[in-house]
Amino acid sequence: MSYKSAALGLFGGKADRLVSHFEALRPQLKQANMHVLLRAWVSMLLMSVLLSFVASLAAVIALQLAFALELSVFIYLVMLVPVITACMVFAAFYTYPIQKAKGMRKSIDNNLPFALAHMNAIVSSGIPPEFMFELLANFREYGEISRQAGIIVRNIKTFGMSSLNSIKDAASRTPSESFKQLLDGIHTTIAEGGNLEDFLEQMTDKSLFDYRVKRERYMQTLATYADIYTALLIAAPLIMLAILGIIGIIGGDIGGLGVRDLMLVMTFVFIPIVNISFLAFLETTHPGV
């Protein structure tokens, strides 16, 4: 809180003039449940960028004093390091709410089919909806859904909101469109006196069907990725190493590098980097099903 207060005190006026350029972050901050106003977040962003610029510039000067770098190297570092550091801090602050909301949405969507089955079982036993969310909040295996249910329970017990208003408020804040539709449906069903058990049963069947379809699609996508991996990251490097071996027997170099050097670069640099990049790509695109 002290950091936010200092940022607002120093950069609040500047943030007021720039906040219109960051409007895309306003819904992300709300969906990520960060409890920070956009003006305060922009102020902290500006302060962090300035501090990172000054700190990296001081680090470069300290490096020059300690090791007496060449003038050209020192100028190069002074021109690049503070700017790159400040840009990285800016990017981190700008993307953090987006990535946090994205992670919450992924957790909700992956656990929703199973949470729905649990909710349906609870309601079918005759337990009121507010107690259904309380039981769901205590079941931490559902990840972000449990935390969202905990917020609904907190609004009812601590802030005195009605169950309908609490559900509606949670629906307006969740980053998951599927969970929003579920909460809106629960709100409408309760408000109009509908059968909540039938509604949850229909939503459970639909959600489980969508989950199976998503899983089958991802398995087909993985088969395609496996073919690409075999062709580009197994067969191609082996063929290239065989070609380099033949060139080494004949004699000559490629681009001024000897065959031995190229083989070492491919074996210990190129192939590991490409494999790590491929694994990172798989982790990024993994839907969690």
Structure tokens given for 126: 């005759």
What's the pLDDT at 67? 86
Q: How far apart are the first and last CA of the chain?
A: 38
**Nearest in space to 122 (alpha carbons), one of 149, 104, 156:** 149
Element housing 232 (H / E): none
Last residue of a domain, one of 54, 76, 103: 103
pLDDT in tens, 180-235: 999 999 999 999 988 999 999 999 999 999 888 888 888 888 889 898 889 888 88
List Cα–Cα distances, 246 to 218, 243, 259, 262, in angstroms. Answer: 41, 5, 9, 13
> What is the residue range of 87's domain?
2-103
Task: Answer with the residue of higher pLDDT: 286 or 156.
Answer: 156
Task: Answer with the residue of higher pLDDT: 49 or 287.
Answer: 49
- The owner of tokens 């210990």 is 268
Q: Per mean pLDDT, which range of 107-111, 129-133, 249-253, 265-269 is the poorest?
A: 249-253
Same domain, 21 and 98: yes
Q: Is 1's pLDDT higher than 60?
A: no
Same domain, 235 and 247: yes
Same domain, 19 and 92: yes
Same domain, 98 and 115: no
What's the pLDDT at 269? 84
Q: What is the mean pLDDT of residues 61-80?
A: 88
Q: How far apart are CA 190 and CA 8, in angstroms?
A: 43
Tell me 289's DSSP state.
-
What's the pLDDT at 49? 96
Number of domain units in the chain: 3
Same domain, 217 and 160: no
Taking all residues of the chain, what is their mean pLDDT, rounded to a whole number? 89
Same domain, 147 and 234: no
Last residue of a domain, one of 103, 137, 166: 103
Q: Is 280's pLDDT higher than 80?
A: yes
Same domain, 234 and 265: yes
Last residue of a domain, one of 176, 210, 244: 210
Task: Answer with the residue of higher pLDDT: 15 or 270.
Answer: 15
pLDDT in tens, 262-275: 888 888 888 888 88
pLDDT in tens, 86-117: 999 999 999 999 999 999 999 999 999 999 99
Q: Is 256's pLDDT higher than 80?
A: no
pLDDT in tens, 33-47: 888 999 999 999 999
pLDDT in tens, 21-35: 999 999 999 999 888
Same domain, 8 and 89: yes
Same domain, 93 and 127: no
Q: What is the largest CA-CA distance in the chain?
A: 85
What's the pLDDT at 86? 96
